[in-house]
Amino acid sequence: MNIFVGKLAASVTAENLRQAFDGYGTIINTLIVRDAATNLPLGYGHVYLVPDQAAKKAIADLNGAHLHGRQISVRECTYRARHERRNNRTSWQQSERRVTAARRHNNSDLQQQRAG
C-alpha cells in the first residue's frame, strides 16, 4: 500500500521515513518529494509498505506522531486521474470566462444606456 506522509520538516530524509515505518511490515520504497527546479523538499513523501494490514496499522499509529519536531499527517495515498485534475481546472477556467463575458456584456449595456 502506498502511504502519503505530509507536513514533513525540510530536514526529513527518505531514511528517516524508513526508520519511522520500520517494524510495520516490509518497506518497499520511501520517497521525499522535491521541487524539480530547486531540489528542495516539498514537505511530503511516500512510503510503500506491504502487507496492507501492516500499512493500515502504521497509518493508525503514526498519524499525528512527531518527526523532527513536527506533527506529521499519515494516510493512504489516493491518486486523482490526470483528466479529473484537468477537468477541474477547465471548469474553473470556463467559469472565469463566463464571469468575464458577463462583465463585458454588462459594460456594453452601460455604455449603450449612457449613449442613448
> Residue 30 belongs to a domain with what CATH number?
3.30.70.330
Structural domain of residue 46, as residue ranges? 2-76
How large is the average pLDDT for residues 42-66? 98
110 has pLDDT over 60? no
In the chain, the number of structural domains is 1
Is residue 70 one of the residues assigned to a domain?
yes
Calculate the dihedral angle through the C-alpha atoms of 39, 33, 23, 71, rounding to the nearest 10 degrees. 100
11 has pLDDT over 90? yes
Q: Give the Å distances, CA to CA, from 73 to 37, 43, 106.
A: 25, 11, 47
Cβ pair 50, 26 in contact under 8 A: yes
| pLDDT > 90: percent of the chain | 66
pTM above 0.85, yes or no: no
Is residue 56 one of the residues assigned to a domain?
yes
